[in-house]
Amino acid sequence: MSDEQRGTAYDTDGRKARPTAVGPPRRRMSRTQRARESRRQRQHHRNRRMARGLGVALVALAAIAAVFLGSRYWHAGGPGLDFTGDGGQQVLIEVNEGDFTTAIAETMLEAGVIANVGTFLSAAQGNADIAAIQPGFYRLRAQIPAATAVQQLVDPENRVGKLVIPEGRQLDDTADMKTGRVTPGVFSLIAEASCLDLNGERTCLKAQDLRRAAETESPQALSVPEWALGPVTTLGADHRRIEGLIIAGTWNVDPTAPAPTVLAKLINQSSTELDRSGLPTTAEQVGMTPYEMLVVASLVQREALPHDFAKVARVIDNRLSEPQRLEFDSTVNYPLDRQEVATTDADRAKVTPWNTYASDGLPATPICSPGMDALRAAEHPEPGDWLYFVTIDKDGTTLFTHNYQQHLSNIELALDNGVLDSSR
């Protein structure tokens, strides 16, 4: 057989062509070198397969992200999406403390009020009323245009659950014995604030439901602060055990919540405010418990006008130090649910957990919801040696003295001016 038949390659000059080597000739590689080269090639192929797989995964993730972000953009800040018409059912939303306009818009989007956050923000831009929106509950219609949502949100008629507790109110309603006028107590004020008209239906808590919750729920369930647990527990099932734990101020009531939840939230928020005011620390500094300080503040609130708060606080402090009974008419009237400057001998003789004519020391609970001014006065009494005080005219002028005979003379002035009734 010829070389041509065998397939042998030749150069142009007729000589056999030398084979071209790729890499080291295998006959020149040791066994170790051949193993390393084989391993290198396998690793190279694996790396290329992994790179291709990672690329496919990244492309898939990018597609998913594009769909998600596109949806968010469309609903939160996309172009021009908005509802039309007068809207549907009424819904309730809550604006929380610290919410900016964007957070409020997102709450409305979740409730189905608006179709698009960005459209709402555009409609609200430059609106001073929107910027001043207060925390609370608001009644709005679902599926309304952004501009309509702005109008409904700033309309005072659409805010619900706003509760204002004036300083000096007690849990129960009180009656003025001279005029017969009834002053709503904290329970009645909460019940009124809870009323909600929604889609043609009206719902309200009842004062008796709140009173029952105060009687039957555990102190822990009512969020009673730890520093008040002892005195509250001592009074058992008496609803007055939570007196004073809801302080005066402006609060928000969830109109859809049951009575125990409403009371627990108000007590918890009041406790937070009292802690923020420094009550526990200040009470410890003057040798009182925070609860005792709250009791003193309630007495100050009911016994004096603001300009005399600090003096009355000093009288309380001086009498407790003597020791001498406080003998405050406000503590006699408290369980009788009435408002009156003077009391009768029979009333003052009745032994109750609150009557400071019949018992030493402070009453068992606060006798009202004190305000922050009364609390500050209780924490910082005005220096003085006074043991007695009496209001001598209908303008609220109050005279303070350390001398009992002078006090009797001051009482005569009050009698002459008709502030006190000599028959009592």
The phi, psi pair for 399, rounded to 5°, reads -105, 135
Query: Which amino acid is residue 157, in one-letter code?
Result: E
Q: What residues does 252 pair with on adjacent strands?
A: 162
Cα–Cα distance measured from residue 189 to residue 57, given in angstroms and rounded to the nearest whole number: 61
Report yes or no: 377 and 314 within 8 Å, Cβ to Cβ: no
pLDDT digits (tens, 9 = 90+) for 270-309: 999 999 999 999 999 999 999 999 999 999 999 999 999 9
Report yes or no: 228 and 291 within 8 Å, Cβ to Cβ: yes
Of 159, 156, 154, the C-alpha closest to 139 is 159
Which residues are CB-contacts of 61 (< 8 A; sequence separation ≥ 6)? none
What pLDDT, on the 0 to 100 scale, is given for residue 179? 84
- Report residues of the chain scoring pLDDT below 50: 1-27, 56-77
Tokens encoding 57 = 């995964």
Domains of the chain: 89-160 (3.30.1490.480), 163-275 (no CATH), 278-417 (no CATH)
This prediction has a pTM of 0.80
User: For 14, which DSSP code?
Assistant: S
pLDDT digits (tens, 9 = 90+) for 86-102: 999 999 999 999 999 99
What pLDDT, on the 0 to 100 scale, is given for residue 344? 87
Tokens encoding 216 = 């039957």
Report yes or no: 91 and 140 within 8 Å, Cβ to Cβ: yes
Question: Please, how many CA atoms are within 13 Å of residue 351, restricted to the half-sphere of its CB?
Answer: 2
What pLDDT, on the 0 to 100 scale, is given for residue 67? 38
What pLDDT, on the 0 to 100 scale, is given for residue 338? 73
Report yes or no: 278 and 205 within 8 Å, Cβ to Cβ: no
